[in-house]
């Protein structure tokens, strides 16, 4: 038995193409540019994904919000003139598959490797992302090594979550993990994390599940094949410098990102694959 769902290709006013999902379980949007999810709302509940009110959906520019895919490196590369967070989030991915099942919808996209400059990625590989839509959202990013030499990469699913008030929001489940912040550390996380300033924590040896406590409810965030994650809020001064981001929007969002970074970087041997996954839901 299949869901009575509608899955269609639609366009923004600016011309960007996206896959629109509307089912009895949820609604969602995935843009072909960057394979970037910009909406996931379980039916009868609030949205689980945040996007800036100033986002204008322009070609060649990542969406400010949703789930940008950072690949094949996260953050600032050691070569300063290389693009921050890699190249995948600005390229046009190809829709490969849409399948409807009794309890979920699968949307799968791949990145045509001919679009990736060999200066940045000189390897024979395949990159796919799969979105599973139901009462929860599952995102699975898979690297497959098609060549004859191993490669190493860092990556992240840079998920933006909503909150009505960042000052009354906390993140539980990071206690005991080590973190680096602003190139200082490592420190050990002792308590539940609250927000009173700019936050940019890169965690390693982190538990696989965290809970975001917001005034609107609790969001459970689970990772697979990842012992690292990133917690981010730009706060006041950095918000003023961000594109497509209102000065006061730091009040309404935070990022908790499934990652493979620092000591958790991934090496994929010839003929092998690695899948980074994040699963999010209201609890």
Sign of CA dihedral 66, 234, 280, 202: positive
pLDDT digit string, tens, across residues 132-186 = 999 999 999 999 999 999 999 999 999 999 999 999 999 999 999 999 999 999 9
- The pLDDT of residue 45 is above 70: yes
Domain boundaries defined on the chain:
6-282
- What's the average model confidence in pLDDT over 227-249? 96
| Listed residue (58, 34, 25, 45) closest to 162, CA to CA | 45
User: Distance between CA 45 and CA 132 in Å, rounded?
Assistant: 18
Instruction: Examine the pLDDT at 57 and tell me if it is beyond 70.
Output: yes
Active site residue 257: yes
Whole-model pTM: value is: 0.96
6-37 pLDDT, tens per residue? 899 999 999 999 999 999 999 999 999 999 99
Cβ–Cβ < 8 Å for 155, 137 = no
pLDDT of residue 17: 97
Q: Choose, from 55, 128, 249, 257, the residue flagged as catalytic.
A: 257
Task: State the chain's maximal CA–CA distance in angstroms.
Answer: 54
Does residue 78 carry a catalytic annotation? no
Catalytic-role residue among 55, 104, 130, 158: 158
Return the higher-pLDDT residue of 138 and 62. 138
pLDDT value for 2: 53
23 phi/psi in degrees, rounded to 5: -135, 170
Q: What is the pLDDT of residue 102?
A: 86
CATH no., domain 6-282: 2.70.98.10
Q: How many CA atoms lie within 13 A of 14 on its CB side?
A: 12
Task: Give per-residue pLDDT as tens, 96-126.
Answer: 999 999 899 999 999 999 999 999 999 999 9
- Residue 22 is predicted with a pLDDT of 95
Q: Is a pLDDT exceeding 70 seen at residue 1?
A: no
Confidence at residue 5, expressed as pLDDT on a 0 to 100 scale: 72
Q: Round to whole Å and give the CA distance between 242 and 176.
A: 32
pLDDT in tens, 244-278: 999 999 999 999 999 999 999 999 999 999 999 99
- Whole-angstrom distance, CA of residue 230 vs CA of residue 50: 16
């Amino acid at each position: 038995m299949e869901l009575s769902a509608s899955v269609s290709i639609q366009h923004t006013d600016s011309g960007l193409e996206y896959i629109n999902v509307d089912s009895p379980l949820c609604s969602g949007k995935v843009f072909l540019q960057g394979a970037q999810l910009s909406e996931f709302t379980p039916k009868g509940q609030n949205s689980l994904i945040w996007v800036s009110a100033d986002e204008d959906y322009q070609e060649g520019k990542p969406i400010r919000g949703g789930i940008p895919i950072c690949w094949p490196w996260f953050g600032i590369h050691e070569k300063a003139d290389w693009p921050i967070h890699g190249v995948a989030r600005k390229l046009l991915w190809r829709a490969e598959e849409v399948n409807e099942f009794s309890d979920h919808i699968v949307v799968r996209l791949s990145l045509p490797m001919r679009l990736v400059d060999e200066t940045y990625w000189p390897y024979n590989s395949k990159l796919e992302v799969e979105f599973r839509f139901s009462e929860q959202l599952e995102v699975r990013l898979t690297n497959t090594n098609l060549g004859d030499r191993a490669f190493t990469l860092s990556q992240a699913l840079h998920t933006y979550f909503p909150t009505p008030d960042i000052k009354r929001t906390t993140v539980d489940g990071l206690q005991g993990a080590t973190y680096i912040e602003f190139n200082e550390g490592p420190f050990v996380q002792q308590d539940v994390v609250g927000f009173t300033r700019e936050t940019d924590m890169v965690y390693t040896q982190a538990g696989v599940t965290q809970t975001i406590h917001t005034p609107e409810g609790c969001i459970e965030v689970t990772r697979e094949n990842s012992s690292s994650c990133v917690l981010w809020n730009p706060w006041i001064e950095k918000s003023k410098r961000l594109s497509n981001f209102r000065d006061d929007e730091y009040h309404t969002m935070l990022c908790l990102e499934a990652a493979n970074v620092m000591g958790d970087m991934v090496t994929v041997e010839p003929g092998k694959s690695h899948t980074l996954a994040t699963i999010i839901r209201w609890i």
